[in-house]
Structure 1
Amino acid sequence: MTVLRHWNSLRDIQELQNRVFNALGTGSGGQCESRAVAEWVPVVDILEDEKEYLIKAELPGVTRENVQVTVEKGRLAIKGERPFEKEEDGRKYHRVERSSGTFLRSFNLPENADAEKVEAEFKDGVLFVHLPKQEKAKPREIEVKVN
């Protein structure tokens, strides 16, 4: 069976970026240990308010068990897999437009994000990653002593 692959311009850009990083000997820019190219990339929205940053990733057809969120060295990574549905007896695919396979999205954390308090929740096919902001250090006056 021929598998149709959904065209994704972002994937083409990522492939080019990985080739450039590999040619320069820097690997894949620290984004992914694997050299495999993702079949699809979930779309995200990133919002900010006075208390936190919020990343919303659309992951339709992905189960909570197939999603992993990690924070390491100032980067947040969302990775997982949406498996390809197998053909059932007596049924054949005539068109395949929904992408499947592994995915990886990674983001640099803002300086004021508290990496120790990151929380994630999964609801109705959407992953919500909460990045609380650290409280700003308040300036304090230092008393100058005279000897």
Structure 2
Amino acid sequence: MTNTETKTNNTPKKKAANIPTDKLHTFEGHPFQVIDNEEMDNLSESIKAQGIISPLIVRPMEEKTDEYEVISGHRRLYAAIKAGLTEVPALIYPLDRNQAVIAVVDSNLHREKLLPSEKAFAYKMKLEAMKKQGKRTDLTLSQAATKS
């Protein structure tokens, strides 16, 4: 695994790395489906031809020192494995569970094809994580995003 460290003003320290696919795990409780369909085939073919253009976002697994939980990029990981890649580019962020839940939800709500049940479960996960962090939950999600 190769890596470089980066730190910006208000963001946690992150590392860029190429990580073996067998060291990456789906985020526990990931509320969004990864569907193997024609779109996935197209993504896999694109990755086979050009590689992964946008790195995955991962966090270290708490119980395993050299393994990571995927925060953003579950579809890219699946497509990369399908394309035969054994290693993928990733940015490693030192997030706790609650920060990771919020990041998973926020990074996936922009997707075009979300089932209402996926969206509802995602908002519920985010609300619970915000409560655990002591953040206000009496605001709408758009207000919370701008005030937190």
**Fold shared, TM-score > 0.5 on shorter chain:** no
If each structure's helix is expressed as a fraction of its own residues, which one has the higher value?
Answer: 2
Per the normalisation by structure 2, the TM-score is 0.22
Per the normalisation by structure 1, the TM-score is 0.22
The higher radius of gyration belongs to: 1
If each structure's strand is expressed as a fraction of its own residues, which one has the higher value?
Answer: 1
